Each structure stands twice: as C-alpha cells, then as structure tokens.
Chains A and B, each alone.
Chain A
Amino acid sequence: MIRLVGMLIGLGFTFVVLLAFGVGAYTAATEEVEPQAGYAFHAEPHAPEGGFASDGPFGRWDQAQLQRGYQVYKEACAACHSLGYVAFRNLADLGYSDAQIKAEAESYQIPHYDPSTGEVTRSAGLPTDNFPPVAYAGLGSPPDLSLITKARGDGTNYVYSLLTGYEDMATYANEDGELLTEEFPEFQVGEGLHFNPYFEGLAIAMPAPLQDGQVTYAVDENGVAPEATVDQMSQDVAAFLTWTAEPKMMERKRTGWWILAFTLFATILAWFAKKSVWSAVKPKREDD
C-alpha cells in the first residue's frame, strides 16, 4: 500500500516537473534568447604579473607595498570611500611606529554624537578610533572599502583588474577577439557611467580614479622611488585593501602550518596505533 501511494506521488511529481521541462524546452526552441553584452564581454579578474606577496599558503605582507597602498588610498580613494572597520592602531601592521600612528590619527577629525542633543562635535582622532565615515557629495553611495576584497569574487585581483580596466569602448575586444562595437552596435554606457569590462554590466559610476604619476612615492631603502604608474598604484592599493579586509591573514597562515604539522604528526601516530591494535585480528585469508 505504502509503495503504491509512493509510486503515485513519485509519478505525480515526475509528471509535473517533466511538463515544466516540456514547456521550457518549447520556449527555448521557439524563442531566441537575446545575447547580452554584459555576459559576452564581461572580463574575469586577472592577477598582475608576479601576483601579490600575500598570495598562497606561504604569502607574507610586503610592508613597503602596504604603505604605498595606504598612500594611494588616502590620496585617490579616501575622498569618496570610507574605511570604517579599520582603526588607526591597526596601521602598526604596516610598520608604522606608535608616534606615527598617533600623528596619523590626529590628522583626522572624528565625529562624536551627543546622544541627548543629537549634536555632532568633532575632535582629533586617537589611535583607538576607526577611520571616520566619508560624506560623499555626489549621487549614489561609494561602498566602504574595508571588506571590498572579500566581498567580491577573487577580490584582490578584482580590485587590481578594475582599476587598470578602464578602456576605450570603441576598441575593446574580448578574449575571443570580438569587438564589442561590432557585436553589439547598440550597446551604450548609461549617462554618467564609465566603460569597464570588469564591472557587472560593463559600466561603472566611478570615473577612472588613477592617472600615471598621481602620487609621489617616497624613496625606499634602496634609495629609489617606484614609478607611480596606474598599474603600480593599482597593485599597491589592491594589496592594501587585502590587508584591510583581513588584517589577521598572516597570523592565520602561520598558525595553520603549525596546526597542520601537529595534526599530521598525530595522524601518523594514530595510523601506527591502529595498525598495531588490529595486527592481532587482521584477516588471514586461506589463499594467502
């Protein structure tokens, strides 16, 4: 009885879902699916040449690069994008001294809200303060960048690719060598938007934020300053934003190796323990 009822229910669901399949197949066969420029010409994030120092299980921060990235953030991004989950004290990870961090914090005005009046007073920041909110004057809301490299797929490479991905739409070709303007002659970037194949829909509100030579890098320990190309600045700020998204990344990887080594050792011991316990009752087949 239960099997009969079960069979009827099973056939019922099968019938309905195959009906839906038939309708879907008929629609697919009779209606042309409009190809979309946003799919055909979307570009996947790619790594810069040589990748990032923090990549991979053995990755380490490149402190000089993080400092350069912080500089790029301050000079090119900070006018519109906040960094709300990062505190000034965290900058110690970048190799700054306590005095430098104190001075850095003091250069910011931090809003304090009086809960009884709602009034805002501003005072110089302390190392314990987080980066303050940014009041963006234009339309839209530029996202907070603290977590951006974790909030996008392949985030570090995405930030790098996006920042270096502003191109002339008229000459843009995808990986198959097809020209966007030939395949989709009617494709237009919306009013106030900018063409960028790494962004969803190929159009982003943010204009290209970096120009060659926009920041002046300090000289490093070898006495040379890296050239501030768009590519270099994009790498640096992508590395910096990888740190802001996960400041504990190196602690995590370092701990991971110790834990894996210990677990491997314990597992090998467990294997020999198992072998020795079972050796007395191991199957002794006649044909052995």
Chain B
Amino acid sequence: MSFPWAKEYTPQNGFTKFLDERLPLPRLVYNAVGAGYPVPRNLSYFWNFGVLAGFCLVLQIVTGVVLAMHYAADAGVAFASVEHIMRDVNWGWLMRYAHANGASFFFLVIYIHIFRGFFYASYKPPREMIWLIGVVIFLLMMATAFMGYVLPWGQMSFWGAQVITGLFEAIPLVGESIKVWLLGGYAPDNAALNRFFSLHYLLPFVIAGCVILHIWALHIPGSSNPTGVEVKQESDTLPFHPYYTAKDGFGLGVFLLIYFAFVFFLPNVLGHPDNYIEANPLSTPAHIVPEWYFYPFYAILRAFTFDFILPAKLWGVLAMFAAILVWFFLPWLDKGPVRSGHYRPLFRKFFWFGLIPCMAVLFVCGGAPAEEPYVMISQIATAYYFLHFLVILPIVSSIERPDPLPYSITEAVLGSDKKAVLGENAEPAGA
C-alpha cells in the first residue's frame, strides 16, 4: 500500500521485536505518520490542515469528556450546571471556553481543508474514497456541533433546536411525526436534551472511526500535492517523519497561538449573547441564528421564499441538504484531466471570483436578519452556488485547455529538468 522505496520498519530492541511479532502497532504508526510514509516533497502549508483537524478532534474529545463530568443533562439544571462549570469547577471556565472555541476552530480548519480539496481537485481519481469519507465526516461534525450547541440550554440552544428539528416538518405527510419522534415531544424539552447529550458524546467517536478510514484510504494512493502530478520516483517524496512532522509542528504552533488568543481574550465573540439567557419557550428571540459555521447553509435554507409547486420551506430544506450532498458527486462532475487549480486557468477564475465570493456572501447573509436586501442577495448567491458545482464545473472541466504540467514533482521543486533526460515532450511549467 505504499511506494516501493518506503523505508521499512525495523524493531530496535527486544521489546519492540516482541511487540512487532505479536501486535505490530509501532509498525502501523511508523508506516502511517512516521518515516515509512513517503509524502510528496512539495506540499504547501495548506496540507497542514488535515493534521490540525485531527488535533481539533482530540482537543474536543478531551475537553468534552471533562465537561461531561460536571454537566447535568436535565432541562431544569443544565443551564445552571454550565454556570457551575464556569464559576466553581477548578479550571472549568478554561475547559468550557476551550471546547466552545474549539468547535469554531475545528470548523475553520475543516473549511480550509475542504476548500483546499476544491482548488486542487483532491477528490479526483484515485482519491474519490478519501473525499467521500471526508464529506461523511463533515456531515457528522455538523450533527455533533448542532447537538452540542443545544446542551447549555440557553435561548439560542432551545430556539435553534426548535428551528432545525422544525425543518423536518417540511417533509410531506410524515414530517410532523418525524419531528415528534426526533425530539421525543412536540417541542425541545428534557427528552430532546438527553438524547442530544447522548448522541453528542457518541458521534465524536464515530467521527474518529471515520477519520481512521479517511487516513487508511489516503495511504493507498498517498497524499495529493500542489502540482497535482502523481508521484513517479523516489526523488518526488520525503519521509513523513521528520520532514512533515516538523512542518506540521510549526503549523500547529501558529494555529494554537490564534486559538489561544480567542480562548483567553475573546472567548465569547464567536458565540451569541442570547445563549447566556436560560431557555424560555415563551420568549422567542428577535433573530434566531445558528453558530457562524452554519451561516452559508442557513442562508441557502432561507433563500427559498416562494411556493413553486412545493412549499418554499421544503425547497429550502432540499436545497440546504443538496448543497452539501453535491460535494459527494464532485469526482464525477469534474472531468478535467488536470487536478491542480494552478494549471487550470478557467477553473481557477471561477474558484477565486465565483465560489469564494459566493461563500462569503452566503456567510454574511446567513448571519444577517431575514430581511431585505439580505434575502435577495442570498438568493443570487444560492443560484450561483448550484450553478457553480452542477453546471459551470462540468462544462469548464470539459472545455478548458489546461496549462502544461511539470513532468514530475522533482522538476516542479528543483527546476531541473527530468524531461531532457527522459525525453518527455511536456513543457516545464514553473521553470
């Protein structure tokens, strides 16, 4: 499952020899993130974000397990138990702020990771399976984050749960029953809070399992790289350790500096003030908004305001789910022969001047109140979003003439030209 020149693990002492013959765990680690995993030598810092996402998952599980020791999942005392953590539990405030901001940074990291995949078309063969598992992980993260936000039982917790489970009411005939089944009642209450807590504790471990599959699938073809040219020879790669452990270590340091600045000095700016008001079913907040990382999808949900055959609400729900499900089909929608956006001039233009502004606009509109002009702006952006993935991408990828690729990663990095030696007729790009 690796390149022929991958270094082989050799146990160094009696104990590791003993272990290697019975449970070759050190060998597994050596081949996964050690010197036994050859990685393209030209990875940019955008390739740090997989490791950072893994770090965030561990951070969330560790802080979350500690918080669960002090939290009480009961509608009567949940809010007070969070305040107990903030005031009376030793370092409880740190655990909670680290967890709440950790969720935000997890999504920030994962969005960069996903958009890296868009730009470099990392989803293309032979890496479709990595991509598909990745989208599953993202969906699981969204479910986990949503249920986690309900647990403090503040106003936004309650009304967010009300709005999101209310989406299922849009399903014809059985919608109402599904909502009642999901919540264990007609409105969010103790039953809903308890099952959300249970699932919020369970799903991260499901995510961890999917992450293992994600990394396993990655190790079959090996990592992609900024040129999109596959590894051809040993000089194209470097062992993961020490080269990328060192590079990821520095990336992790920079990430932590920004993360800690938020945890210690701006711990509440990414949250909503209303969630410091205890849930009150009799008082609806003026503007119900989800956490910031859901804004783009919330904007798509609310963009459908007109009943065309189906009710507007059902259109919104379908579009919101379709907006993520479309990612599953990217490997088959983008038929271009070249992966990396660096060598795809037209594709690159639509990425930087189409998709990125579109997501930015959806982000702003999703956080804004549902009134004009935000609704109209979000409708244009929503239209572009679907056109981009389902119409523009298939057309662009089949008509575009990509720029000439470097012969190999070695050539792209060193500038020296393997093609002369090997007699290839490809034009060198970055030389």
| A interface residue numbers (CB < 8 A to B) | 2-3, 6-7, 9-11, 13-14, 16-21, 23-25, 28, 33, 57, 85, 90, 143, 146-147, 150-153, 155, 200, 245-248, 251-253, 255-257, 259-260, 263-264, 266-267, 270-271, 273-274, 277-278, 281, 283-287
Can you list 22 residue pairs at the A/B interface with Cβ under 8 Å?
A9-B390, A10-B387, A17-B304, A17-B319, A20-B304, A21-B379, A23-B305, A57-B265, A85-B87, A151-B277, A153-B273, A200-B286, A245-B276, A246-B86, A248-B86, A252-B94, A255-B94, A257-B264, A259-B264, A263-B260, A270-B250, A284-B414
**B216 part of interface (Cβ distance < 8 Å):** no
> Given the complex, which residues of A lie within 8 Å of B415, measured CB to CB?
283, 285-287
Q: Judge whether A3 and B250 touch: CB under 8 Å.
A: no
**B18 part of interface (Cβ distance < 8 Å):** no
**B391 part of interface (Cβ distance < 8 Å):** yes
Contact flag A33-B264 (CB < 8 Å), given A200-B286, A263-B257, A267-B254: no
**B218 part of interface (Cβ distance < 8 Å):** no
> Given the complex, which residues of B lie within 8 Å of A270, measured CB to CB?
246, 249-250, 252-253
Q: Which of B29-37, B325-333, B349-357 contacts A (4 or more CB under 8 A)?
A: B325-333
**B263 part of interface (Cβ distance < 8 Å):** yes
State which of A17, A246, A260, A287 has its C-beta within 8 Å of the C-beta of B264: A260
Tally of chain B residues near chain A (CB < 8 A):
66
Complex Cα–Cα for A118 and B374 (A): 53
> Given the complex, which residues of B lie within 8 Å of A284, measured CB to CB?
414
Q: Judge whether B242 and A10 touch: CB under 8 Å.
A: no
Complex Cα–Cα for A90 and B87 (A): 9
> Given the complex, which residues of A lie within 8 Å of B390, measured CB to CB?
6-7, 9-11
> Given the complex, which residues of B lie within 8 Å of A152, measured CB to CB?
273
A135 → chain B, closest Cβ, in Å? 19
**B105 part of interface (Cβ distance < 8 Å):** no
> Given the complex, which residues of A lie within 8 Å of B261, measured CB to CB?
256, 260
State which of A24, A150, A155 has its C-beta within 8 Å of the C-beta of B376: A24
Q: Judge whether A21 and B383 touch: CB under 8 Å.
A: yes
Q: A247-B87, A274-B249 are in contact. List 13 more A-B contacts (CB 8 A).
A: A9-B386, A17-B379, A20-B305, A24-B372, A28-B372, A28-B376, A85-B87, A150-B273, A260-B260, A270-B250, A281-B41, A283-B414, A285-B414
Q: Judge whether A17 and B273 touch: CB under 8 Å.
A: no
Output the residue of A17, A18, A147, A284 with the most chain B CB within 10 A: A17
> Given the complex, which residues of B lie within 8 Å of A9, measured CB to CB?
322, 386, 390
> Given the complex, which residues of B lie within 8 Å of A287, measured CB to CB?
415
Q: Judge whether B333 and A6 touch: CB under 8 Å.
A: yes
A46 → chain B, closest Cβ, in Å? 17
Q: Judge whether A255 and B333 touch: CB under 8 Å.
A: no
State which of B260, B373, B387 has its C-beta within 8 Å of the C-beta of A256: B260
Q: Judge whether B242 and A277 touch: CB under 8 Å.
A: yes
Q: Which chain A residue has the least Cβ–Cβ distance from B257?
A: A263
Complex Cα–Cα for A281 and B409 (A): 13
Complex Cα–Cα for A246 and B83 (A): 10
State which of A24, A151, A257, A278 has its C-beta within 8 Å of the C-beta of B276: A151
Interface string of B378-398 (1 = CB under 8 A from A): 011011001101110010000
**B416 part of interface (Cβ distance < 8 Å):** yes
Complex Cα–Cα for A196 and B333 (A): 57
Output the residue of A13, A155, A248 with the most chain B CB within 10 A: A13
Q: Judge whether A267 and B303 touch: CB under 8 Å.
A: no
**B256 part of interface (Cβ distance < 8 Å):** yes
Q: Judge whether B253 and A266 touch: CB under 8 Å.
A: yes
Contact flag A150-B276 (CB < 8 Å), given A256-B263, A278-B246: yes
A59 → chain B, closest Cβ, in Å? 10
A281 → chain B, closest Cβ, in Å? 6
Complex Cα–Cα for A25 and B431 (A): 52
Complex Cα–Cα for A112 and B217 (A): 61
Contact flag A252-B277 (CB < 8 Å), given A10-B387, A24-B379: no
Complex Cα–Cα for A259 and B329 (A): 43
Complex Cα–Cα for A249 and B345 (A): 51
Q: Judge whether A6 and B372 touch: CB under 8 Å.
A: no
> Given the complex, which residues of A lie within 8 Å of B306, measured CB to CB?
16, 19-20, 23-24
**B359 part of interface (Cβ distance < 8 Å):** no
Q: Judge whether B308 and A256 touch: CB under 8 Å.
A: no
**B49 part of interface (Cβ distance < 8 Å):** no
State which of A2, A13, A277 has its C-beta within 8 Å of the C-beta of B386: A13
Complex Cα–Cα for A25 and B318 (A): 23
Complex Cα–Cα for A97 and B256 (A): 39
> Given the complex, which residues of A lie within 8 Å of B373, measured CB to CB?
28
Output the residue of B86, B335, B375 with the most chain A CB within 10 A: B86
Complex Cα–Cα for A253 and B333 (A): 49
Complex Cα–Cα for A267 and B261 (A): 14
Q: Judge whether B312 and A20 touch: CB under 8 Å.
A: yes
B68 → chain A, closest Cβ, in Å? 20
Complex Cα–Cα for A85 and B333 (A): 55
Q: Which chain B residue has the least Cβ–Cβ distance from A12?
A: B386
Contact flag A273-B249 (CB < 8 Å), given A16-B308, A17-B303, A20-B304: yes
> Given the complex, which residues of A lie within 8 Å of B274, measured CB to CB?
151
Q: Which chain A residue has the least Cβ–Cβ distance from B383?
A: A14
Q: Judge whether B386 and A14 touch: CB under 8 Å.
A: yes
Complex Cα–Cα for A57 and B416 (A): 51
Complex Cα–Cα for A14 and B389 (A): 12
